[in-house]
Structure 1
Amino acid sequence: MSVTTNEPPKEGVPSATAGLRSGSLGTADIAFFVVSAAAPLTVMAGVAPLAIMLGGIGAPVGYLLAGITLAVFAVGFTTMSRHVRSGGAFYAFVTRGLGRPVGIGAALLALVGYTGMEIGVYGLLGSATQDTVHALFGTDVPWLPISLAGLLLIGYGGYRSIEFGAKVLGVLLVAETGILVLLAGGVLVKGGAHGLSAASLHPDHILIPGTAAVLAFAFAAFTGFESTVIYRREARDPERTVPRATYFAVGFLGLFYAFVVWIAIQAFGNDEVVRAAAEDPGGLFFTAITVYVGGWAADLMHVLIVTSVIASLLAFHNAINRYVLALAEEGLLPRRLGRIHPRHRSPYLAGMAQTVLGAVVVLAFWAAGADPYGQLLLWVNTPGMIGLLFLQLLTAIAVPCYFRRVSHREGILPTVVAPIAATVLLTTAIVLVVGHIDLFTGASATVNTILVVTAPLVFATGFPLAWWLRRRRPTAYAAFATEPAE
């Protein structure tokens, strides 16, 4: 059997992203982008208390299960990344495995999904900064100017080079991880509230109805890990860099999330932590770090939550820009969005478009009197989260379909067994997330229905668009998701 590591060069098309700086990112750089998109400190301080409240002391296992599921998915995902070099990542993989109509639907879903995840977080930025200013200075500030300033800051970060973004994210990620490690050290040294316990791992605390809710929160916390592949063209030695960054991101997030949630449980004790989480979910981690480290650490954590949100925004912004670049290359978006800045070598017009769109959405929610956290963040993030989970599912299905049609020397484990297992696990995850969507949004049944059906409707739009392209723009349709010319 012959070796096929990429599609034949004759299928290549001129690359609109050829101006990106090739070979500028290493494993650590890409991992910083991906882990920063997950915003570990924000997830822990803002979401983990809710997971504990609903799932009890078995909550850490939910994060481990989510990490294991996505590690299984990553086996087929990274194997296929050695054969498909397109910057479109998800939609390119889906196209190669399931055909162009499905791939075009996946492309729209990726664009809307990542955009929703980014824009919604500007509401979190406004809300988190409000809380931080109030906690530190006792002053109330409006959220809109904060969110708009964040839009400009993130827009500038995307305008600068990818190396600039990697350096910024590296510093922010180390800082936010450091404060959680500091909390963990304090709890471990003092032995927790009543001594350290492994009760979180006991089946009696895992096999309960609330675990389903924990899994929903946990899968949402990993959103964005798959974006390692979209940096392939800018990676040094992508055959090694992309898989390493993917496994590092999944492994780090899964273990770190589970460990920190366990630490929070030890800080209050097995019998008291659920009540503490229910009484003050937003203050759970601040109370813990005040007791075990000191008030100064709580003040620092307030500041680092804001920088954690900024890191998440910058990581998502760069990921979206590269999807826009890829779609401009495909001809599905205006070609001008694929322009590269002559000095910074960044996709600056794609970034500007994202900034303008974000400002429009933020201003619309403000004009409607919406809450920045409960509505701008949760209502805009929810369709994005569901869309990205659906994309992962489509990609898992596409992997074995692709390898059935090409010559390769990959084993059956990464090309068949792992993708099928990932398909089953991701289907379960989607059912759990949709079934507990009210825990994310706190909205009415009507609003939740709209949020849930948005992703399938966006995906379905790809089929008439594919039909239109095939009839009216056959060249663009034929070139969709083919390998870029080097």
Structure 2
Amino acid sequence: MPIGSSGKTNSALATAGPGRTTGPGGAIRTFKGTERALRADRIGTPGLLLSVLAASAPLMVVAGIMVTTYQVMGIVGQPLLFVALGVVMALFSVGYAEMSRHVHNAGAFYAYIARGLGGTVGAGASFVALVSYSIMQTGIYGMFGFEVSALLERYLGASVAWWIPALLGVAVVGALGALKIDLNAKVLGVLLLLEVVMIVIFDLGFAAQPGPQGLSLHAFDPATLGGAGLGTSLCFAVTGFVGFEQAPVYAEETSRPGTVVARVMFLTVGFVAVFFALSCWLIGVATGPDHVVAAAGEHGPGLIFTLAEQRLGTLFTDVLHLFFVTGIFAAMLSCHNVVARYAFAMGREGLLPAPLGRTAKASGAPALGSLLQTVLALVVVTAFAVSDDKPAGDPTAPVIHLSAWAGNIGAFGVILLMATASLAVIVFFVRRGAGRAQAGRLTASGLAALALLAVLVYGVKDFDILVDAGEGSVLGWLLPSLIGVAAVIGLVHGSLLRARKPAVHARIGLGNEAFQLDKAAGASAPGGADAPAPHKESRP
């Protein structure tokens, strides 16, 4: 462990026997029993990597986000954005991964923020995380229902309302979410691998039969990034990276979390940056860089399927449609698992009702957390289904709004969390006297925070474009304000806990076992692990 072995820490909490931590002000119990613990050693590097990559939904990003960005923003240099954002996400991962070596908590974002910026700010972050991932995951059901309905219509001639398969998806995902994480990882792994294989095949087809300008590298020219749509294009591209930051959520369930989680984050960022940049570039190659914006405007999200059919035939395109749907399903399941674990962590630490902080005896999974997300998804999908005024109205409007609004609101919240977590990493190590030893990592975190804040500013400014709400629409400020409301509720809740239940407030971010640096501090103190640390911890 990079910090703690030298004894240079100002942490107040040191272990005092199994499952307890002590400080000058009394004892804080961190172990609440096995029913409050996720099952360890359930998932290794391959399983975690596949689970995290599934959340990034490669085919959905390539066929949806990339084509939409070409269509709406007209930024030919979109592939270069994935390269640039890959650098930003790698910088973010440097400090985030180091933090993951010391904090093993399913609360991930909010646990890290609590350890750096205090329990009250951590409480605010917990509600932002819960709302962001919940909204994002619920939005994917809209796209899933629409695509399944289209497949049934195309191949079976059956007319099925989009919300019927969407609700079936809610039920199936809810059932899988309550099962063992290693089983979920296998399901996600198979679906992800099939998805990636399909993308590789049509990428090779595009490269083998390029458009009129050949294998042009024009898209990587920085001059192609000019234009008013650059900021919004950045926000769209960020959504393609969402998923890698979820790796620490599974820290309690992995083997060797101090190594596996960090490894998976860097592998995911590298894969996403390279894979998406190449795929995005090859879309432009297939049409010709000078024609990609017009082609996207003509075909919309169907552009990938049109280009693939021209080169690889109808059978391949039919299979591609099928795996597009399974890829969406994989993203739904992956996001569902994350939300369930955030709800579990918050219930265990007193931020949500205590029953949510219990695991199922049979599977060791956060079953009630899974049920909570299932109910929320059921309510939201039902609300959008009711607003579907077929046959008089546009039957696609509710599902399009559900997917676009929810996806971008969720991404907005995740960007905010990433920027805040970067700041928390810096404060965390500096307060423990490790600023000089961690100077490189803290510099990377600072640069990442600045870049993420810039993207966040663009996101707020152009949110009406992101959700296709129209300039001046009330939705342009109302929808992103949901994240602000979640943050305020969390901060108020944290403040009340600090005033009325200080013991609960002191546990925020600690999880079900003593904090790793605190363990090391206790072990290195005179008297070993049973000795209290000499300084009282200061939590803002």
TM-score (norm 1): 0.95
The answer to whether the 8 A contact 1:290-1:297 is kept is yes
* Pairing partner for 2:30 from 13, 32, 35: 13
Q: Equivalent residue for 1:287?
A: 306
Tell which deviates more after alignment, 71-80 or 435-444: 435-444
Inter-partner Cα distance in structure 2 for 1:414 and 1:438: 38
Match of 1:439 among 447, 465, 469: 465
Q: Given that residues 59 and 211 in structure 1 are in contact (C-alpha distance below 8 angstroms), is that contact kept between their aligned partners in structure 2?
A: no
Structure 1, residues 76-123: CA drift from partner, whole Å, max 9, x if none? 101111122222111111111111221111011111111111111111
Task: Look up the match of 1:457.
Answer: 485
Unaligned stretches of 5+ residues in structure 1? none
* Cα distance in 2 for residues equivalent to 1:138 and 1:257: 34
Distance in 2 (CA, whole Å) between partners of 1:372 and 1:250 is 33
- Note the C-alpha offset of 1:174: 0.6
Q: Once structures 1 and 2 are overlaid, which stretch shifts more, 207-216 or 293-302?
A: 207-216
Relative distance call for 1:464 and 1:163 in structure 2 (3 A) is: same
Distance 2:342 2:281 in 1: 36
Aligned-partner Cα distance in 1 for 2:405–2:206: 35
Q: Distance in 2 between matches of 1:317 and 1:5?
A: 37
Please state how far the C-alpha of 1:135 moved relative to its aligned partner. 3.4
Instruction: Give 2:31's aligned amino acid.
Output: P
Q: Which ranges in structure 2 are unaligned for 5 or more consecutive residues?
A: 1-5, 16-20, 22-27, 390-396, 515-540
Paired amino acid for 2:343: V
**1:186: which partner in 2?**
205
Shift in alpha-carbon separation, 1:297–1:435, aligned structure 2, 3 A:
farther
**C-alpha contact 2:203 2:279 (8 A) present in aligned 1:** yes
Contact 1:62 1:211 in 2 (8 A): no
Verify: 1:482 aligned to 2:501, yes or no: no
Cα offsets for 1:404-460 (capped at 9, x unmatched): 111549843444201110111001111122222233311242012111111112112
Q: CA deviation at 1:365?
A: 1.6
Q: CA deviation at 1:133?
A: 2.5
The alignment's C-alpha RMSD in Å is: 2.0
Q: Quick one: distance in 2 between partners of 1:131 and 1:273?
A: 25
**Structure 2 equivalent of residue 2 of structure 1:** 7
Contact 2:50–2:192 (8 Å) recurs in 1 = yes
Give the AA of the match of 2:47.
D
| Partners of 1:87 and 1:233 within 8 A in 2 | yes
Larger deviation, residues 199-208 vs 10-19: 10-19
**1:470 has 2:498 as partner:** yes
CA contact (8 A) 2:464 2:475 kept: no
Q: Give distance in 1, aligned partners of 2:174 and 2:363.
A: 13
Q: Is the 8 A contact 1:396 1:419 kept in 2?
A: yes
Q: Does 1:374 align with 2:392?
A: no
**Which residue of the partner structure matches residue 269 of structure 1?**
288
Quick one: structure 1 residues 89 and 5, their matched pair in 2 at CA, closer, same or farther if it must change by over 3 Å? farther
Instruction: Report if the CA contact (8 A) 1:136-1:299 is conserved.
Output: no
SS for the counterpart of 2:76 is helix
Q: For 1:413 and 1:134, how far apart are their aligned partners in 2?
A: 58
Distance in 1, matches of 2:328 and 2:47, equals 18
Bigger Rg over Cα: 2
> 1:439 and 1:471, CA in 2 relative to 1: closer, same or farther beyond 3 A?
same
Asked if 1:324 is matched to 2:343, the reply is yes
Q: How many Å separate the matches in 1 of 2:498 and 2:460?
A: 34
Counterpart CA distance in 1 for 2:439 and 2:308 is 44
Distance (whole Å) between structure 2 residues aligned to residue 15 and residue 35 of structure 1: 32
Query: Which deviates the most, 282-291 or 469-478?
Result: 469-478
- Once the 2 structures are TM-superposed, how far is the Cα of residue 138 of structure 1 from its aligned partner? 4.4
How far, CA to CA, are the matches of 1:128 and 1:83 in structure 2?
Answer: 42
**Partner SS, residue 75 of structure 2:** helix
Pair 1:69-2:88 in alignment: yes
> Which deviates further from its counterpart, 436-445 or 164-173?
436-445
Alignment coverage as a number of residue pairs: 486
**Any conservation in 1 of the 2:9–2:433 contact (CA below 8 Å)?**
yes
Q: How do 1:63-462 residues align onto structure 2 when only pairs under 5 Å count?
A: 63-369=82-388, 371-408=397-434, 411-444=437-470, 445-462=473-490
Which structure shows the higher helix fraction?
1
Return the alpha-carbon distance in structure 2 between the equivalents of residues 419 and 392 of structure 1: 10
